[in-house]
Amino acid sequence: MSTPTRSTSRSAPDLSAGATPPVSGDGGVEATPGEPARALNTLVRPQLPRWAPLLVALGAVALGTLVAVVLGRGPVAAALVAAVTFHVVMPVWSNVVEGGRRAKDRVATHVMWTAFVLAMLPLVTLLWQVISNGLPALSAEFFTYSMRNVVGEGGGIYHAIMGTLIVTAWATLISVPIGVLAAIYLVEYGQGSRLARWITFLVDVMTGIPSIVAGLFAYALFVLIFGPGVRMGFGGAVALAVLMVPVVVRSTEEMLKLVPNELREASYALGVPKWRTITKVVLPTAMAGIITGVTLAIARVAGETAPLLIIAGDTDSLNLNAFSERMATLPVFIYYSYMQPGVPAHFGQERAWGAALVLIAIVMGLNLLARAVGKYFAPKTGR
């Protein structure tokens, strides 16, 4: 039985949850004919226009510049005055127009943006210094020649690039199997055991080891084998491996923990042994994160200077044999080029800035490669 409804000439606006009242052009609520507009406008407070932060920022910059010029100060003082002016004027204006709640939200937003800018400022300044000083040194000769028999102008970093690649490759070959197998033991076999707790403790200790201590360890180890004064690229690889192992263990361990236990249980229910479940189910599922962690670990140690300075040494010639004689690397080349630039010093310092730019480019390239590899090997969702 249907209930008769009463027809009305107009319907009241639905202000229940989920319904949006009609808004007028000036930001207030548009009243329907016959209703008091003032009562509806109290539901939505007026807001500052979108150009208000830009207007206040321009005014703050103008005031900061004026104060700095009058007082004879530099750009840092102008930026400080502008920042203080913006962080005072904008919340006050917002409090008057929008109310205290919106003003507090704007204060929190401005503080976070200020912290972000302060965090990025050293990075941007560093990149600007390295790029502006290093770009003039880059040339075809810089990448294809070594420093053998070069005094003053000329020469390049070919021997240092090859040494860095060889030492880092050996360090990766040493540390990745150790780190991955240790992480597999911690997650899949050693849960709650005393050995697993000891491994976890040692990994935590190794994470905080200074890089120069790793270099001293590698030097002491090779002195016991080959005698005092030993220098070789493989020794530098061992020192870098000491720094890489804890990073690889931690990243691999976290990735293995993210693999759902339902996958393991499903494999066990089909009668698959544990070692085959790990190699065919667990590792492929976590492969993207493992490769990303390994790549980031390589980028982490590629710029280490202290351990290579102690055990790998430096040379002006190309050496492709990691088990014989000294081997040049980019961080050590930068150090000696800047500390002992030769006569005239301008050319040595220019080569140091150029090598620093190349090293930063290699590290940034490895980080981008890690992101691309992680995205490529990530499990597909099927949607």
Reported pTM = 0.74
Domain shared by 122 and 164, yes or no: no
Q: Which residue has the higher pLDDT, 74 or 40?
A: 74
CATH number reported for the structural domain that contains residue 156 in this entry: 1.10.3720.10
Residue 352 CA, distance from chain mean position: 24
- Chain mean pLDDT for the chain: 83
Residues of the chain with pLDDT > 90, as a percent, come to 27
Residue 111 CA, distance from chain mean position: 22
Domain shared by 174 and 120, yes or no: no
* pLDDT for residue 28: 46
Tokens of 286: 């976590």
Number of domains in the chain: 2
On whether residue 41 sits in a domain, the answer given is no
CB 245 within 8 A of CB 279: no
Task: Give the tens place of pLDDT for each residue, 3-33.
Answer: 444 444 444 444 444 444 454 444 444 445 5
CB 64 within 8 A of CB 79: yes
Q: Which residue has the higher pLDDT, 381 or 127?
A: 127
The mean pLDDT value for 252-280 works out to: 90
The mean pLDDT value for 67-96 works out to: 87
CB 256 within 8 A of CB 183: yes
Domain shared by 82 and 172, yes or no: no
Instruction: Compute, in degrees rounded to 10, the torsion defined by CA atoms 290, 296, 300, 302.
Output: 100
Domain shared by 160 and 274, yes or no: yes
Which region among 9-18, 85-94, 111-120, 354-363 has the lowest average model confidence (pLDDT)?
9-18
Last residue of a domain, one of 120, 136, 152: 136
The range of the structural domain enclosing residue 358 comes to 143-377
Confidence of residue 42 (pLDDT cuts 50, 70, 90): low
Q: At residue 29, what are phi and psi to the nearest 5 degrees?
A: -85, 130
For residue 47, is pLDDT > 90?
A: no
Task: Give the tens place of pLDDT for each residue, 182-220.
Answer: 999 999 998 878 899 999 999 988 888 888 999 999 999
* pLDDT for residue 27: 45
Domain shared by 120 and 183, yes or no: no
**Angle, CA 359 vertex, CA 357 and CA 360 arms, to 5°:** 65
Q: For 136, how many CA atoms within 13 A lie in the half-sphere containing its CB?
A: 11
CB 86 within 8 A of CB 63: no
On whether residue 179 sits in a domain, the answer given is yes
Last residue of a domain, one of 136, 159, 175: 136
On whether residue 373 sits in a domain, the answer given is yes
On whether residue 21 sits in a domain, the answer given is no
On whether residue 99 sits in a domain, the answer given is yes
The mean pLDDT value for 264-277 works out to: 91
3-state secondary structure of 134: helix
Domain shared by 131 and 147, yes or no: no
Sign of CA dihedral 339, 341, 343, 345: negative
Domain shared by 58 and 166, yes or no: no
Last residue of a domain, one of 82, 109, 136: 136
